[in-house]
Amino acid sequence: EKARHQIGYMPQQAQLDPQFPISVLDVVLTGQIDRCGKGLTGGFPKAAAGVAQAALAEVGLGDFIQKSFNRLSGGQRQRVLIARALCSEPELLLLDEPTSNIDPRSEENLYETLARLNRKMTILLVSHDIGFVSQFVKSVICVNHQVIIHPTSQINGTIIKEIYGGDFNLIRHDHRCDHTGHSHHDPFSSNREQL
């Protein structure tokens, strides 16, 4: 029971009807239903709203409290779901494909948010994009009939081939263009802040 309150979970997709008129604040408050012990019919104490507002500020959406959840971009929705997971004030944050269906810029913003959160808590996330996620994490756990843990500095095409079979090229997808054009360079050669 105690462990359950120490874990925050963000699903890959929110199971919310896109036509249902729910505000961002109300979505985040649903992360406290179990904690408040009142369910949906008892309402939330004012302290719960304060926790929800702080969680939204933590993910950079403090001004979005009254906006309709269904009018947000994919990246904004993902950050709202992270705020909902933060409402339980977890020690461990579990994220299932947090960057699915969002554009590259939103993906980068999301990882920057996670880097800030990682200073206060442990974060475990599932991703199929090893090349991109490796830019932002300290270690990668590869699962394919076995579990192998590597620091990101050791991840390369050979290791991925040994684990998953087949040929792989790791390409950095930072999509930053300047006057010299678009670049796909080795994601493991640059210095970067780690999660």
pLDDT of residue 181: 45
Furthest-apart CA atoms within the chain: distance in Å: 59
Tell how far CA 75 is from the center of its chain.
Answer: 10
Strands 92-96 and 7-10: parallel
The reply to whether 122 falls in a domain is yes
Residue 110 has pLDDT above 60, yes or no: yes
Give CA separation, 120 vs 75, 92, 93, 115, in Å: 22, 9, 10, 10
Q: What's the rounded Cα separation, in Å, for the pair 36 and 58?
A: 21
The reply to whether 134 falls in a domain is no
Q: pLDDT tens digits for 22-41?
A: 999 999 998 887 666 655 56
The reply to whether 31 falls in a domain is yes
The reply to whether 49 falls in a domain is yes
Q: pLDDT tens digits for 8-22?
A: 988 887 777 778 889
Q: Tell me, what CATH number does 120's domain have?
A: 3.40.50.300
3-state SS, 72-112, equals CCHHHHHHHHHHHHHCCCCCEEEEECCCCCCCHHHHHHHHH
The reply to whether 161 falls in a domain is no
pLDDT of residue 153: 66
The pTM of the full predicted model, rounded to 2 decimals, is 0.71
Domain that holds residue 68: 3-126
Total domains, the chain:
1
Average pLDDT on 42-61 reads 86
The reply to whether 87 falls in a domain is yes
Residue 174 has pLDDT above 50, yes or no: no
The reply to whether 107 falls in a domain is yes
The reply to whether 138 falls in a domain is no
